[in-house]
Structure 1
Amino acid sequence: MKELTTMNNTVKYWLVHPKVSKDLKAQIKAMSEQELAYAFNEKPLGFGTAGIRQKMGPGYRYLNDFTYAQMAFGYGRFLIDKFGFSPRCVIAHDNRKNGVHFAKIITDVLTSMGIEVYLFDNNKISSTPILSYAIPRYNADGGINVTASHNPKTDNGFKTYNEKGAQLLNQDAQKIIDFMPKSCEILNLEYQPNDRLVKFIPDEIYDRYFADIYRDLYTTDHKEVKDFKVIFTGQHGAASYWLPEMLRRFNYNVIPVKEQCKYDENFTYTKSPNPEARESWDLALKYAQHYGADIMLATDPDADRLAVAVKHNNEFRYFNGNEMGIIFAYYILKYKQLTKRPYIVSSYVSTNLIDRIIAKYNGVVYRVGTGFKWIGNKAIDHKDQEDFILGFEEAIGALPTTIGSDKDSFQTAALALEIYNECLKRKITMVDFLEREIYPQFGFIHNDTITTLINDLDWKKKANDWMERLKRYDQPYINDRKIVSIKWNQAGDCLDWILEDDSWIRFRLSGTEPKFKFYYNLYGNSLKQLKEEANQITKTLKRYISLIK
C-alpha cells in the first residue's frame, strides 16, 4: 500500500511539474495502472546486449529528456573518474525520432561538466561504424550513440563506447549506472552547457575511412568497372547516403532503393527496419526485378549490420549471419598473407564451422558472450600478438579488420561485393561458393535462429519459466538427435544442449528486446534434410514448453 501511495505521489508530481511537457503529461494520463507502475519504478535503466534500449515516454523507465540527462551525467562522471580533468567524447545519432534533440541534451550535460564534445558536422545523422572509427582518431576518451538499432520506431537508446571505439563492457556499464543521479532527482537536475567545448567532425573523415577500408581489401580494384548492378537499401537509416557513396568510389554500379534511402524517423516505406526480417526486403526485391540485379544489400538504421541476398537458380537466397561469417572467414584466410597465428572472435551462439576452417591454418577461435561489445574488445586485445581475421555473430554483424571496433556494414559491404565479383569471374554464385566449395571441405551444417516475441510487460518471467523447463528436460534424445549433456553456459549466458557429432542447440533471452531464442548448429549429409530436421525439433521444443499444442 505504501508503494502504491509513493507511486501515486510521484505521478502527481510529474503531472504538475513545470519541466514536464504537455505531451508527456498527456501520455501519463493515458496510461493504465500497470503501465504507470512500470514507468515510475525508480530502478534506473540497465544496459543490455548493446547499451540501453527502451521505448520513449514518461517516467523513470522510459526514455525522455530527463532520463537522457540522467544517463549523460552517469557517463560523464564515469569519464572524469577514469581519465581525470577535461576528457573528450564523440556523440552520434541515427535517424530515429528525437535523435538530434537527445544528442543535444547529452552534449549540454557533458559540456556543463567540462567534457569536450565532438559532434559529426552540425550534429548530422551518422552511423555506428563511423563513430567507432572516429573515437581513436580524434583521441577521444569515449563515445555515445543515440540509437536503438533495428528496434521498433517507438524506441531509442544510449550506446556507450570506450577510448578504443569498442562498446563498454559490463563492469564499466555498471559504473555508469552507479554514477547516475537517483531517479527521484531527475526532474530537478541543473546543468549549464558550455558551447565553447563543442567541436565538429567534418565530412572529410569519410574520405579517410573509405581509404582505410579500400586498403584492407584483397582483390578489389577501384579502377575496374564492375559490370553488375547492386541494389542497396538503408532502411531509412544512417547508411542511406554514405554507403552508396563509398561503393560508387569503388566503381560499383549501385542502385539505391530511393524510398528507403531517405532519412525517416517513422520508417515509412519499410515493414521492418531489421534486415534479418524478410519483409524488410520487399522494395529492394522489386528494384532487383525491375533493374535485373542479382545482388542486394541491406543495412539496419545505425548501419552496423549488413545483410546480403544473391540470385541463385533464378531465386534470391538471403544469407544469414552464420553463412556470411563462414564465407568471410574462408575467403579472408584464403587470401590474407599471414605473419602470425590467425584468430577469429565469435559468440557462443554462432556457428562452429569456423573452428574447422581456421584449424587448417593452425588458428584459433575466441568464443565470447552474445553482443558485439565482447567481440570488439576481444579483437583489440589480441591484434598485436596475432593476425585478426574476423569478428562476427549470427545476427548478421561482422567486422573484418580492426580499423574500427564495432560491427561495420561499410567494411562488410565492400568485402561481400569483392567476394561476389570473384565468384562472377569464376562463373559461380556465392551460394555455390558456400555449398560446393566450403561445405564439402569442412562439413554440411544447418545454422538457424528461431525467435519468439513475447508481448508482455513481464516477459522475462515467462522466458525464464521456459528456460527452467528446458534445463529440466530428461529425455536422452530430442527427436532423433542424442543429447550428450545439458548445462548452463555462464560465459555465453545461454543454455547448452550438446548433441552428438559436434552439433548443439542453445537457448537464451534477448538482451535488447522481449524475445526468446533457439539457436541451431546441426551437422549432417544433406542441407535439405537438416533444415527439415530443425523444423521438426522446433515443433517438439515449442510443444515441450507449451508454446504450441
Structure 2
Amino acid sequence: MNWKDKLTQWREDTNLNKALRHELMNIKDEKELEDRFYRYLEFGTGGMRGEMGVGINRINEYTIKRVAKSLAIYIASHGQDTMNKGVAISYDNRHFSKEFAEITASVLASEGIHVYLSDSMRPTPELSFSVRKFSSFLGVMITASHNPKNYNGFKVYDEEGGQITLEVANELLAILENITDELSINIQPLDMYIEQGTVTLFSKEIDQIYIERLTSVIQNKELVRKKGSELSVIYTPLHGTGAVLLPQAYKTFGFLNLRVVEEQSDGDSGFFTVKSPNPEDRNAFKMALDYAVDSQSDIVIATDPDADRLGVVVFNDTQPVYLNGNQIGLLLLDYLIQFKTPQELNNSFIAKTIVTSDLGGKLAEDYHIEVQNTLTGFKFIGEQIKLSEEINGKKFLFGYEESYGYLVEPFVRDKDAIQAAILLAEVALHCKINNKTLISRLEELYTEYGYYKEDLITYEFKGKNGLEKMNDIMTSFRDKTTQQDFNKLNIERVEDYLTQQIYGPSEKLIESINLPSSNVLKFIFEDDSWVCLRPSGTEPKLKVYFSVNDKLEYKAIEKLNILKEIYNFKISLMDTTTLI
C-alpha cells in the first residue's frame, strides 16, 4: 500500500479520533501529507519516539495501539505464564502520556495479559525498578525523555528492567510489519479491565520501596546524616516527574537544605517556562540560577521530564559553571572508588559508551577496574551488568554516558537521575567539608591525567529525504576521508562500527570490533583525541562528537576548535539542512 492509499484509509474512517480528523483535514501541503503517511514511525532498540500528530509516521493513539498489539502477540507467543507475569507501565507528564499508557494497558488486557499500571506520572528509572519488583515480563514507559513538547514515545523494557535487546527489538519489528490495521484495533474502557483484575494499579507504595533501595547509593551514611543539611541545593524538575521522588529522597537521607523551583515543579505538559526541558541545555537552568543567586547555593541540579538525566551547575566564586556529562560521571566515579577496597576494585567493572570521554576509563584502569565500552545508548550498559556479573563474575561499580546519564546501583537497569542526584550531593558535601569544590576536584584530576575537552555538534535533517542525506554523509566520510583533512592531527586508526573493523593508516586492518554492528564512524588520532559520527537512532539528526586532551588546557582547547572547524566545513559541503 502506497502512502496515498493509507492516507485515503484514514480520511475515510468514520471512527477516526475527532481531533486527528480535524488536523488531517487542515493539512493541504502534499509533501507534509506524504511525510506523515509514507511509512510507519520507526521502531528501534529504544522503542518508538517521534512527533505527535495525525498519520502513521507520528505518535498518536492508533500508532500506540499498533505497537501495543505487537507486544501482546510477542508475549502470548511465550505462553500463559508469561502472560500472567505481564507488563508494568508508567508515563511522564507530556501531553497524552497518561492516555497512551492507558491505551497500551487496555490493548494488552484485551488479549488476556496482566498489566501493572501506574496511577500517576513517575520517573523512567522507577518504571525500570517496578519491572524488577513485580517480576514482569516486560515494561513500557510512555515518554520522549528530553525532547520538545510536541514529541512523545514508547520505550520497552525487558524482565531485567533494561531496555530490550537488539534480538527482542527485531522480533517485535517482525510482528509489527504484519500489523497494518491500526484503525481496527478495538478496546474497552480501562475501568472494565481494572474491575476484571486484568489491570492492577500501583501507586505510592512503590515510591517508598524505591526510596528505601536508594540507601545503597550513599557511600558515607554518617557524613550525610550529620552534615547533609550544610549543603545548599537548588533543584528544578523542569516540570517533569523528578518532582515526584527527588525532593522526598533528599529529605529522607538528610539533605534538608533543598529548595525546589516551584514554577517548574507543576507537571506542566507544555514546559511553558523553558524552550527545551533538557538539562544539557544551559537555558534550562535560567530560573533555577535565579533562585541560586538569592540563596547563595552550593550546587544547582536539573532533571529532564522523565528524570533519567541529570545536569549540574556549580559556582566559581559567583560565576556559574555548567558541568557536562563527562565531568559529572568522572566526579561520581572518582568518589565511588574511594570507598572500595583494592580487592573490590579488582573484581569490579565500569561501563561507558564509545562516545563518552576516555578520562573515566583511564582513572578506572589505574585502580585495576575493568572498563567495558558499549555502543551509544544506556540499554547496552544495562546489558553489560547481566553479562559481566553472571558470565565474568565481575561486580558492577558504575555506568555512565556523556549525554547526562548515570547509574550507581543496579537495582535499576537504566540511567537514573535520582540515584545520580543523591550521590552528586554527597560528593559536593564531601568536597565542602574538606574546603574543596567540585571544580577544584576536577582540576586535581586534570593535573594528574591531562585536560580533556569535549563537544557535540548536531545536524538535523527533516522530511522524507533526511535519512538518505545522513547515510550519504556517512558514506562520504568512509570513502573520502584522507590524512590531509586533519592538518597536523595524525590519524592513528579508524573504528568503523558498521563493518565492525578497525583500520590503520592506508586502510590496513588492525582488528575486529566485538560489538553489534552500528552505523558509527570514529577517527582516533595519535594523542588519543577523537571524532565520532553517529546518526541518531530516535531522531532525524546526525551527531558529531569531539574529544581531545592535552597536558595544557589552552592546547586542548586549540585542538578542539581545529577539529570542529574541519568537520563543520566538511559536513557543510554535503547539503546539511539545519545546524543545532
Q: TM-score, normalised by structure 2?
A: 0.89
Q: 1:470: which partner in 2?
A: 477
Give the CA deviation at 1:231: 0.6
Contact 1:379 1:391 in 2 (8 A): no
Is 1:27 aligned with 2:23? yes
* Cα distance in 2 between the residues matched to 1:280 and 1:107: 33
Question: Following TM superposition, by how much is the alpha carbon of 1:48 offset from its aligned partner in structure 2, in angstroms?
Answer: 3.9
Matches within 5 A, 1:399-418: 399-418=407-426
CA shift for structure 1 position 325:
1.6
Alpha-carbon distance in 1 for matches of 2:51, 2:323: 30
The Cα shift of 1:83 comes to: 5.0
Q: CA deviation at 1:458?
A: 2.4
C-alpha distance in 1 between matches for 2:359 and 2:77:
43
Q: Structure 1 residues 231 and 176 mapped into 2: Cα distance closer, same or farther (>3 Å)?
A: same
For residues 224-279 of structure 1, give each alpha carbon's deviation from its aligned partner in whole angstroms, at most 9, with x where no partner exists. Answer: 24223211011111112321111111222111111111101111111211110111
The aligned counterpart of 1:525 is 551
In 2, Cα distance between the equivalents of 1:99 and 1:22?
18
The secondary structure found in structure 1 opposite 2:78 is: helix
Matched, 1:397 2:387: no
Query: 2-side partners of 1:58 and 1:146: how far apart?
Result: 18
Alignment match, 1:269:
273
Is it true that 1:454 corresponds to 2:457 in the alignment?
A: no
Gaps of 5+ in 1: none
Aligned residues: 541
Instruction: Report the equivalent of 1:178.
Output: 174
Q: AA paired with 1:272?
A: S
Distance of 1:7 and 1:49 partners within structure 2 = 25
Instruction: Report if aligned partners of 1:44, 1:177 keep a CA contact under 8 Å in 2.
Output: no
The alpha-carbon deviation at position 383 of structure 1 amounts to 2.7
Report SS of the residue matched to 2:77: helix
Q: 1:505 to 1:49 in 2, by over 3 A?
A: farther
Distance 2:431 2:7 in 1: 62
Tell me by how many angstroms 1:425 deviates.
Answer: 1.2
471-480 vs 517-526, which moves further: 471-480
- 1:505–1:520 Cα contact (<8 Å) kept: yes
Match of 1:106 among 79, 104, 107: 104
Structure 2 unaligned spans of 5+: 499-514, 576-580
Partner of 2:214: 213
Counterpart among 226, 236, 239 of residue 239 in structure 2: 236
Q: Distance in 2 between matches of 1:496 and 1:181?
A: 33
Question: Equivalent residue for 2:510?
Answer: none
Deviations 1:449-485 (A, max 9, x none): 2222334442222222222332211124613311123
| Aligned residue among 136, 139, 147 for 1:140 | 136
Deviation at 1:181, TM superposition (A): 6.9
Question: 1:243-254 counterparts in 2 under 5 A?
Answer: 243-252=246-255, 253-254=257-258
After superposition, where does 1:256-295 map in structure 2 within 5 Å? 256-295=260-299
How do residues 32-71 of structure 1 correspond to structure 2 at under 5 angstroms?
A: 32-41=29-38, 43-48=39-44, 50-71=46-67
How far does the alpha carbon of each residue in 1:342-391 deviate from its partner, in whole angstroms, 9 at most, with x for none?
20111111111222112222221111111111111112222351121111
Between the aligned partners of 2:9 and 2:43, the Cα distance in structure 1 is: 27
Q: Which residue of 2 aligns with 1:386?
A: 394
Q: Distance in 2 between matches of 1:8 and 1:117?
A: 37
Could you tell me whether the CA contact under 8 Å between 2:68 and 2:107 is conserved in 1? yes
Is residue 349 of structure 1 aligned with residue 360 of structure 2?
no
RMSD of equivalent CA atoms: 2.0
> 1:310 and 1:62 mapped to 2: Cα distance?
39
Q: Which amino acid aligns with 1:179?
A: I
Q: Determine if contact 1:49/1:370 at 8 Å carries over to the other structure.
A: no
Provide the rounded CA distance (Å) in 2 between the counterparts of 1:456 and 1:531.
Answer: 36
Q: Is 2:193 the partner of 1:194?
A: yes
Q: Whole-Å Cα distance in 1 between the matches of residues 302 and 354 of structure 2?
A: 25
Instruction: Return the alpha-carbon distance in structure 1 between the equivalents of residues 215 and 184 of structure 2.
Output: 49
In structure 2, distance between residues paired with 1:21 and 1:297: 40
User: Cα deviation per residue 1:292-343 (whole Å; 9 max; x = unaligned)?
Assistant: 1120010011111111111123211111111112112222122124535220
Query: Which residue of structure 2 aligns with residue 435 of structure 1?
Result: 443
| Secondary structure in 1 matching 2:180 | helix
Q: 1:347 to 1:365 in 2, by over 3 A?
A: same
Deviations 1:163-206 (A, max 9, x none): 11000012111211222374531111234563321112231222
> Identity over the aligned pairs, expressed in percent?
31
In structure 2, relative to structure 1, the CA distance for the partners of 1:416 and 1:547 (3 Å cut) is farther
Partner of 1:424: 432
Q: Which residue of 2 aligns with 1:542?
A: 568
Note closer, same or farther for the CA distance 1:48–1:182 as it changes in structure 2 (3 Å cut). Answer: closer
Q: Tell me how far apart the structure 1 counterparts of residues 405 and 153 of structure 2 sit (CA, whole Å).
A: 18
The answer to whether the aligner puts 1:498 opposite 2:524 as a matched pair is yes
Q: 1:46 touches 1:177 (CA, 8 Å); kept in 2? A: no
Answer yes or no: is the 8 Å Cα contact 1:470–1:545 preserved in 2: no
SS of equivalent residue, structure 1 residue 481: coil
**1:128 Cα deviation after fit:** 0.5
Q: CA contact under 8 A between 2:217 and 2:423: conserved in structure 1? A: no
Deviates more, 1:25-34 or 1:396-405: 25-34
- Deviation by residue 1:16-41 (Cα, 9 ceiling, x = unmatched): 31221222122222332112122222
Q: Secondary structure at the match of 2:186?
A: coil
Q: Secondary structure at the match of 2:440?
A: helix
Between 525-534 and 280-289, the greater mean CA deviation after superposition: 525-534
Q: Deviations over 1:510-543 (max 9, x none)?
A: 1122222221221212223312331232122211
